[in-house]
């Protein structure tokens, strides 16, 4: 994967993370001004601009009020208006319903722009419409501005459209609430329903964000699975007609599809950790390490020696996340071995007064010093897919998982001689839960 491709993937992942953060706010807050202002701030953060605004369509159907924004001088937000005439970008967006991009307004011949944009030295503009509820006019327009000429990409535009749809849903929800309140006869039932909905929303917030991430990935999975399915049909039903060369191509399609499926799964796992709040408790590292070792042996399909120095000290962690961390570390140690050499992995721990450091040590190919920090980045790969299969996300999951649990990770390695990866967590032996277990004779 090239540097540009990695950068694009990192940018998309960052935008998806910000969408998830805004989705949480849109579900939680009943303050429309707070939602609109935070939407502007987060969008600016995602796209690297310091100017953004929401302009609200007024009852006359042509005047737009700057309802919320970030980066503007006093006298703009809540005051400035724009007339959505045919020769304005706002009028175009409202009339067509399509995004409007001006990479450089100083060279723009299609539209006129309000004076306050010129005063703020705006050079590039991206507009997306915020739709209204069923049977209602649009709420307004979501705009991101840049003081530098900028060609907004298709990914940027897709991000802004998704963002505007989340805004529209939040506005529609709050408008509906304001109208339940207007009908005094239905006030009691409306309030009771609101309490029930809010209770369910809070309980389902993480599940809804997972569903959002799944929806994003589905557009990738559907064509991928179709491609894999048709390739398998070719291999199963038409192998003689394909011949050796054609069958080889179909086999390569299946293998590539399987790798892409694993990449999507790893991306989703990493995305969940971006917003995961771990509930720490006493965890038996020995059981998790032994399980990860068994999985690594089975996955390699060859002789590999993995010694776990049991028992390992108990730590305060989240068992599912720690299980992912250990699985990636031990799996990598078993995978990145020197050709025609026995694979030896040792898992051991050392403890101080309040911390536990777990080591995963191997005799594999090692890592050059200049790569030892970068390997924890998303999509960082040092070897070809043919040499060592993988997605380049495993160690990023390790680092993000450790951050979620209040821990840290790192590596000591010598190229050609092996690596020692480590994770550091708080010991469980100082916790109230451990004291209660010790009291009742139930340490693990």
| Contact between 80 and 101 (Cβ < 8 Å) | no
Residue 439: pLDDT band with limits 50, 70, 90: confident
| Winning range, highest mean pLDDT, from 11-15, 187-191, 320-324, 436-440 | 320-324
| pLDDT value for 134 | 73
The matching CATH number, chosen from 3.40.50.300, 3.40.50.450, 3.30.565.10, 3.30.750.24, for 281-440 is 3.30.565.10
CB 427 within 8 A of CB 354: yes
Number of Cβ within a 10 Å radius of residue 287: 15
Residue 1 has pLDDT above 50, yes or no: no
Q: How confident is the model at residue 388 (pLDDT cuts 50, 70, 90)?
A: very low
CB-CB contact of 325 with 425 (8 Å) = no
Which of the four CATH numbers 3.30.450.40, 3.40.718.10, 3.20.20.140, 3.30.300.30 does domain 3-182 have? 3.30.450.40
pLDDT-derived band at 117 (thresholds 50, 70, 90) equals: very high
Higher pLDDT, 144 or 298: 144
Reply yes or no on whether the pLDDT at 357 is more than 90.
yes
Strand partners, 56: 65, 140
| pLDDT confidence of residue 355 | 93
Predicted confidence (pLDDT) per residue in 186-230, tens digit: 666 767 776 677 666 655 655 665 665 666 566 667 777 777 788
CA triplet 166, 172, 178: central angle to 5 degrees?
140
pLDDT class of 55 with cuts at 50, 70, 90? very high
Residue 44: is its pLDDT beyond 80? yes
Q: Above 50 in pLDDT, residue 54?
A: yes
Residues belonging to the chain? 444
Q: Where are the alpha helices (DSSP H) in 154-238?
A: 154-182, 187-237
Q: pLDDT-derived band of residue 261, with 50, 70 and 90 as boundaries?
A: confident
| pLDDT at residue 152 is higher than 60 | yes
Give 240's Cβ-side CA count (13 Å radius): 0
Cα atoms in the Cβ-side hemisphere of radius 13 Å centred on 290: 8
Domain residues of the chain, as ranges?
3-182, 211-274, 281-440
């Amino acid at each position: 994967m090239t540097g540009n491709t990695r950068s694009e993937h990192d940018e998309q992942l960052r935008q998806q993370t910000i969408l998830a953060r805004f989705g949480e706010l849109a579900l939680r807050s009943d303050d429309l001004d707070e939602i609109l202002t935070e939407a502007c701030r987060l969008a600016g953060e995602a796209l690297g601009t310091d100017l953004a605004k929401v302009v609200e369509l007024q009852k006359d159907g042509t005047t737009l009020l700057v309802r919320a924004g970030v980066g503007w001088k006093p006298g703009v937000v809540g005051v400035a208006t724009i007339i959505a005439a045919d020769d304005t970008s706002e009028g175009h967006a409202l009339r067509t319903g399509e995004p409007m991009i001006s990479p450089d307004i100083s060279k723009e011949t299609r539209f006129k722009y309000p004076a306050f944009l010129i005063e703020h030295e705006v050079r590039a503009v991206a507009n997306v419409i915020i739709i209204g509820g069923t049977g209602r006019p649009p709420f307004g327009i979501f705009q991101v501005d840049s003081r530098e000429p900028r060609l907004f990409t298709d990914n940027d535009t897709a991000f802004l459209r998704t963002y505007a749809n989340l805004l529209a849903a939040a506005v529609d929800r709050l408008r509906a609430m304001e109208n339940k309140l207007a009908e005094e006869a239905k006030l009691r039932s409306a309030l009771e329903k609101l309490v029930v909905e809010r209770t369910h929303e809070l309980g389902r917030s993480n599940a809804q964000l997972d569903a959002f991430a799944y929806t994003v990935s589905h557009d990738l999975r559907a064509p991928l699975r179709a491609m894999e399915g048709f390739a398998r049909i070719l291999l199963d039903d038409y192998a003689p007609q394909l011949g050796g060369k054609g069958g080889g191509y179909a086999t390569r399609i299946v293998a590539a599809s399987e790798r892409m499926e694993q990449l999507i799964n790893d991306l989703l796992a990493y995305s969940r950790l971006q917003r995961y709040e771990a509930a720490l408790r006493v965890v038996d590292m020995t059981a998790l390490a032994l399980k990860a070792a068994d999985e690594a042996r089975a996955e390699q399909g060859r002789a590999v020696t993995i010694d776990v120095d049991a028992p390992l000290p108990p730590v305060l962690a989240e068992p599912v996340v720690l299980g992912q961390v250990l699985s990636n570390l031990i799996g990598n140690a078993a995978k990145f071995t020197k050709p025609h050499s026995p694979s030896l992995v040792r898992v051991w721990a050392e403890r101080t007064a309040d911390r536990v450091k777990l080591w995963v040590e191997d005799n594999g190919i090692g890592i050059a010093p200049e790569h030892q920090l970068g390997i924890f980045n998303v999509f960082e790969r040092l070897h070809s897919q043919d040499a060592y299969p993988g997605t380049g996300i495993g160690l990023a999951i390790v680092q993000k998982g450790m951050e979620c649990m209040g821990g840290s990770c790192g590596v000591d390695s010598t190229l050609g001689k092996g690596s020692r990866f480590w994770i550091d967590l708080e010991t469980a032996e100082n916790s109230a839960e451990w004291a209660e277990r010790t009291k009742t004779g139930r340490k693990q």
